[in-house]
Chain A
Amino acid sequence: MAAADYQKRPEAGFVTEALEKKLHDMWETKPGLFGVIATVDHKVIGIRYIVTAFAFLVIGGLQALIMRIQLAQPDQTILTPEQYNQLFSMHGITMIFLYALPILSGFSNYLFPLLLGTRDMAFPRLNAFSYWIYLASGLFMYASFLIGEAPNNGWFNYAPYALKSFNPGLNMDFYALGMVFFGISTTVGAANFVVTVMRNRAPGMSINRLPIIIWGTTTVSVGILLANPAVSLAFFFLWLDRQFGTHFFDTAGGGQPLLWQHLFWIFAHPWVYIIVLPAMGMVSDALPVFCRRPLVAYTLVILGTITTMLLGFGVWVHHMFATGIPFLSMSYFSGASFIITIPSAIATFAWIATIWTGRIVMTTAFLYFAGFISMFVIGGVSGVVTASVPADLQLHDTYFVVAHLHYVLIGINLFGVLGGLYFWFPKMTGRMLSERLGRWNFWLTFLGFNLAFLPMHWTGLLGMPRRIYTYPEATGWSWVNMLTTVGSFVLAFGILLLFVNVWISLRRGAIAGRNPWDAPSLEWATSSPPPAYNFPVMPVVASRHPLWEDRLDESDGHSSIDRGLVLDDGKEMLATSVIDAEPRAILKMPEDDPWPFLVTIALTVGFTALLLHWWWIGVAAGVATLLGCVFWLWPRDDLAQTKGAAHE
């Protein structure tokens, strides 16, 4: 028998109510507990990411406040040194790993299919898996507090202090296994973003028409795929050294403590760009909406994004200037660190030019983006200072570095995220955030942040080392520390107002409608909040700003939003070509599926078993994980993976 001809001619049509009803029944997550566990809707997963990441932000913030109370005055004993060590370690781990990337993954998860004009991510089940692993690994690391043995060696966790002889408790084991666990989430999430961008776009959305956040997240996702193995491996080596007496990091058996620093920073310097470039992308897309014009220098901004990521792989040793490495090596990495300012500055000038030449609409989101730019400049300049070897040798491990990294991370991650939240909240919930509360929210966070961290540069120049639990009065560091403590509480109060605003606006906020900001990209072409299937018919894109075509006159054609391919024979999506987004195939998309959740449970049991040396349970959990994956990937008729299924 000749094989079936697995082809069909997709129908084009207009949006109708009957079509919307049919698609709704197909795509809607089923209610009840099963739906909660099994949903693969990228919008639900995206919001879960955002809520969870904000929860970790709050927890990490509270840890910071406790430390600030301890440091507000000299010679305080509110915290013991060990408690202080655990707090600053978990504060860093929480903010850098459990907040900073997941919040961006949340926005990207929510926005990718909407911005790209498609119905879901490339791998919806993997997407659910990535969220569950994120949650499970976060809880795993936090479980350490339950037995009072949280990681206590800082987030970069240098050997040899992380080794068993110096650190015999479970503290480091929680961190080592937790990070290997968390790495699974980051990696599969990154792969999902890259494949979605390459293969699942609206017809006509060639790569020169992609929104910048797509470029930002895709660039860093490639970075994650290449960098993340280094840190997973480093933590795995650490775990081996601690459990089985291997000699990767301890000098007794020929190991090298510096190997840890190399593997860690080969990952962690790219990571610094990984957690800011998507936020820069958010600003590049949303800021122009409030300037009523397209972004200046679209192509240069994208090239700058990619160049920053590439160079980000060649600067890791600038974290190691004080380790006694050869002079030539320091010169090279110092030079590379100076050069990286050039691509980073391109975006800054593009934003300033966009504001300069635009007609500004002064909203809370705009204020956050403007604050973002100004703090990026401060954080960037203090970064240039530390890129210089002689200055860095003086500033290394002082509060100057702490001030620098908070300007970068709060300035270019959190402020971009908060602006992005004011911008996209109406799309996610259908309601506007209050602008009046928003002003209070912005000004308190902005002033509180600068009050806390601007004087901190001075604290560092006065010579105060980071990670000390208290200091004597004679040092003269008291007043700057008090300023920082006051500022951090103002900042925290500002963040509290954000949650008040969200709480009130969810109930009483103004109804947003489709496109409250009159923005140009595809997510604003569907209702707010979008239906489960995102778009009733597949939009066709003819320019970079599909909803601004009337006034911009960018291209010959017009994008087609109301008429397009219908794709209603089961859950269907288009596969498109990488460069030009020409339709290549019709993909069948998975229904709600419990396997991602079940495999996560098996992995959680497995990692817990490794932590507690329950080896046989670990083996059993490993087998369960593999079996779970086999069932997850079992070929299915409804996904058109088997012969005979889905042909005309």
Chain B
Amino acid sequence: MSDISLETRKPMAIGRLPIGSIGRLPNGWWGMMMLVATESFLFLYLLFTYYYLAARAGSGFLPEAPPFFHLSGPNTLILIASSATLWYGERGARKGSRGQLLIGFLATLVLGAIFVGIQIVEWTEKPFTIASHAYGSTFFTVTGFHMAHVVGGLIMLLALTLWSAIGYFDEKRMAAISIGAIYWHFVDAVWIAVFFTFYITPYLR
């Protein structure tokens, strides 16, 4: 044990220390937390915009047909399922099973891609556009922001899957996997807030 003996009653004892990217020790894990904090507020302000415009406009704000669940409902379940498959993959990484890691991540990639596809169908089904009225502007902008985050998350997962397949990680050196997973779970959690705002609240009046 190398101790840094201070001229004090209690010398500071420093024993063996982990090196590099392990668990929650690397700065990257904390950096991801910063990203989550600032992005949470980004979506807070996005939803504030919707509620503010809705409250100021009064009754004429919502389009005539209320939002339907036939696409958005299953799509929400798909996104939640993708969080579960990601968790499964990450657990595989922790056990040192590259197979389980790759299965979980590939499943997440597929589910995420399906989400994007269904969302595009939903967009094309809408009878209004981003330029029709304030509701259309907020709907397409907020869901568009979320979609951009899903696509960004998919690119990130793609890189992580590639790196795992190459064999960069083992059960301890896998901080990149854990850090990336936080982002994907965050994007899923944001969708719950977006879904509640655009699909549930119109029925709560």
Contact = CB atoms under 8 A, between A and B. Distances in A.
Given A122-B27, A226-B38, A246-B141, A6 B19 contact: yes
Residue with the highest number of chain A CB atoms closer than 10 Å, among B9, B52, B170: B170
A187 B35 CA distance: 9
A3 B134 CA distance: 57
Contact of B42 (A199, A233, A645): A233
Contact of A195 (B27, B138, B171): B27
B7 interface: yes
A588 interface: yes
Given A247-B131, A248-B134, A635-B168, A586 B19 contact: yes
A239 B30 CA distance: 32
A12 interface: yes
B19 A187 contact: no
Contacts of A646: 19-20
Contacts of A585: 17-20, 22, 25-26
A415 to B, nearest CB: 31
Contact of B130 (A227, A246, A259): A246
Given A195-B30, A195-B34, A643-B168, A558 B49 contact: no
Contacts of A3: 96, 170-172
B53 A640 contact: no
Contacts of A635: 163, 168-169, 176
Interface residues of A, number: 77
Given A247-B134, A253-B137, A575-B27, A643 B167 contact: yes
Given A3-B170, A3-B171, 11 more contacts: A9-B15, A10-B17, A199-B30, A232-B42, A244-B130, A248-B53, A254-B134, A256-B57, A626-B152, A641-B20, A647-B19
A367 interface: no
Interface string A610-648: 000000000000000010001001110001111111110
22 contacts: A4-B172, A7-B16, A123-B31, A191-B35, A199-B27, A225-B37, A229-B39, A232-B42, A245-B130, A253-B133, A253-B134, A254-B60, A254-B133, A256-B134, A557-B9, A558-B7, A560-B4, A585-B18, A585-B26, A586-B20, A587-B26, A645-B173
Contact of B173 (A194, A584, A640): A640
Interface string A532-563: 00000000101000000000000011111001
A643 B173 contact: yes
Contact of B52 (A240, A247, A259, A559): A259
A646 B22 CA distance: 12
B141 A240 contact: yes
A233 B52 CA distance: 14
B10 interface: yes
B17 A229 contact: no
Contact of B6 (A237, A558, A645): A558
Interface string A298-337: 0000000000000000000000000000000000000000
Nearest to A635: B168
Interface string A169-198: 000000000000000000100110011001
A229 B2 contact: no
A509 interface: no
Contacts of A253: 131-134, 137
Contacts of A191: 31, 34-35, 38
Interface of B: 1-4, 6-10, 12, 14-22, 25-27, 30-31, 34-35, 37-39, 41-42, 44-46, 48-49, 52-53, 56-57, 60-61, 96, 130-138, 141, 152, 155, 159, 163, 167-173, 175-176
B166 to A, nearest CB: 9
Among all A-B residue pairs, the 6 with the closest Cβ atoms: A640-B20, A557-B8, A254-B134, A191-B34, A229-B42, A245-B131
B4 A203 contact: yes
Contact of A262 (B22, B25, B37, B52): B52
Given A558-B7, A575-B25, A640-B173, A586 B30 contact: no
A259 B136 CA distance: 16
Contacts of A476: none
B7 A247 contact: no
A9 B141 contact: no
Contacts of A7: 16-19
| A interface secondary structure, majority | mixed
Contacts of A200: 27
B8 to A, nearest CB: 3
Contacts of A564: 4
A237 B169 contact: no
Contact of B53 (A229, A256, A540, A583): A256
B38 A228 contact: yes
Nearest to B144: A240
A230 B17 CA distance: 41
B173 A642 contact: yes
A247 B170 contact: no
Contacts of B48: 263
Given A259-B53, A557-B9, A585-B25, A639 B20 contact: yes
Contact of B21 (A4, A247, A640): A640
Contacts of B175: 641
A626 B155 contact: yes
Interface in A214-260: 225-230, 232-233, 237, 240, 244-248, 253-256, 258-259
Interface centre among B30, B35, B61, B96 (most CB of A within 10 A): B30
A334 to B, nearest CB: 21
A455 interface: no
